[in-house]
Amino acid sequence: MERSSNFRDRDRDGDKDGRKGGMSFHRRKICRFCADSTLAINYKDYKMLRLFTTERGKIVPRRISGNCAKHQRMITVEINRARYIALLPYTTASVR
Protein backbone atom coordinates (compact mmCIF):
# COMPACT_ATOMS: atom_id res chain seq x y z
CA MET A 1 0.00 0.00 0.00
CA GLU A 2 1.46 3.31 -1.07
CA ARG A 3 1.23 6.47 0.99
CA SER A 4 0.23 9.72 -0.60
CA SER A 5 2.80 12.48 -1.00
CA ASN A 6 0.72 14.74 1.23
CA PHE A 7 1.13 12.28 4.11
CA ARG A 8 4.92 12.14 3.60
CA ASP A 9 5.24 15.92 3.52
CA ARG A 10 3.37 16.24 6.78
CA ASP A 11 5.63 13.71 8.50
CA ARG A 12 8.81 15.20 7.08
CA ASP A 13 8.33 18.59 8.72
CA GLY A 14 7.28 17.06 12.05
CA ASP A 15 3.70 18.20 11.82
CA LYS A 16 1.99 14.91 12.58
CA ASP A 17 -1.57 16.16 12.75
CA GLY A 18 -1.36 18.32 9.63
CA ARG A 19 -1.92 21.72 11.28
CA LYS A 20 -0.14 24.73 9.92
CA GLY A 21 2.55 25.51 12.45
CA GLY A 22 4.14 28.69 13.52
CA MET A 23 5.89 30.21 16.44
CA SER A 24 3.71 29.93 19.50
CA PHE A 25 3.90 32.75 22.00
CA HIS A 26 4.57 31.78 25.61
CA ARG A 27 4.08 34.49 28.19
CA ARG A 28 6.86 34.55 30.78
CA LYS A 29 5.60 33.61 34.22
CA ILE A 30 6.31 36.15 36.90
CA CYS A 31 7.47 35.21 40.36
CA ARG A 32 4.52 35.53 42.72
CA PHE A 33 6.82 36.43 45.61
CA CYS A 34 8.49 39.27 43.70
CA ALA A 35 5.12 40.59 42.54
CA ASP A 36 3.56 40.53 46.02
CA SER A 37 6.09 41.36 48.72
CA THR A 38 3.60 40.55 51.50
CA LEU A 39 3.81 36.83 50.70
CA ALA A 40 6.32 35.14 52.96
CA ILE A 41 7.96 31.76 52.45
CA ASN A 42 7.81 29.88 55.74
CA TYR A 43 8.17 26.18 56.52
CA LYS A 44 5.12 26.35 58.83
CA ASP A 45 2.86 27.32 55.93
CA TYR A 46 2.69 23.81 54.52
CA LYS A 47 -0.43 24.55 52.45
CA MET A 48 1.48 27.11 50.40
CA LEU A 49 4.52 24.83 50.11
CA ARG A 50 2.22 22.07 48.84
CA LEU A 51 1.67 24.20 45.71
CA PHE A 52 5.34 23.77 44.83
CA THR A 53 5.45 19.98 45.12
CA THR A 54 4.06 17.32 42.82
CA GLU A 55 1.66 14.57 43.86
CA ARG A 56 4.67 12.33 44.28
CA GLY A 57 6.39 14.79 46.62
CA LYS A 58 9.00 16.18 44.23
CA ILE A 59 9.80 19.89 44.18
CA VAL A 60 8.42 21.61 41.08
CA PRO A 61 11.19 23.19 38.94
CA ARG A 62 11.48 26.93 38.27
CA ARG A 63 10.45 26.77 34.64
CA ILE A 64 7.12 25.27 35.64
CA SER A 65 6.40 27.14 38.88
CA GLY A 66 7.48 30.51 37.46
CA ASN A 67 9.59 31.50 40.47
CA CYS A 68 12.79 33.49 40.24
CA ALA A 69 16.05 31.79 41.26
CA LYS A 70 16.21 33.53 44.64
CA HIS A 71 12.72 32.51 45.71
CA GLN A 72 13.06 29.01 44.25
CA ARG A 73 16.09 28.44 46.50
CA MET A 74 14.13 29.76 49.48
CA ILE A 75 11.21 27.46 48.68
CA THR A 76 13.54 24.48 48.41
CA VAL A 77 15.08 25.21 51.81
CA GLU A 78 11.67 25.66 53.44
CA ILE A 79 10.25 22.48 51.85
CA ASN A 80 13.22 20.53 53.18
CA ARG A 81 12.68 22.03 56.65
CA ALA A 82 9.00 21.10 56.53
CA ARG A 83 9.91 17.58 55.45
CA TYR A 84 12.40 17.26 58.30
CA ILE A 85 9.77 18.01 60.94
CA ALA A 86 7.15 15.90 59.10
CA LEU A 87 4.83 18.65 57.89
CA LEU A 88 5.37 17.51 54.29
CA PRO A 89 6.08 13.99 53.07
CA TYR A 90 9.35 13.08 51.38
CA THR A 91 7.48 10.77 49.01
CA THR A 92 4.04 9.24 48.73
CA ALA A 93 3.17 5.59 48.83
CA SER A 94 2.75 4.30 45.30
CA VAL A 95 -0.61 2.67 44.67
CA ARG A 96 -0.72 0.05 41.98
Structure pTM? 0.69
pLDDT confidence bin for 9, thresholds 50/70/90: low
Q: Provide φ and ψ at 59, rounded to 5°.
A: -80, 130
- Exposed, middle or buried: residue 26 (CB in 10 Å: 0-12, 13-18, 19+)? exposed
Domains of the chain: 32-85 (4.10.640.10)
pLDDT in tens, 22-52: 677 777 788 999 999 899 999 999 999 999 9
55 or 13, which is more confident: 55
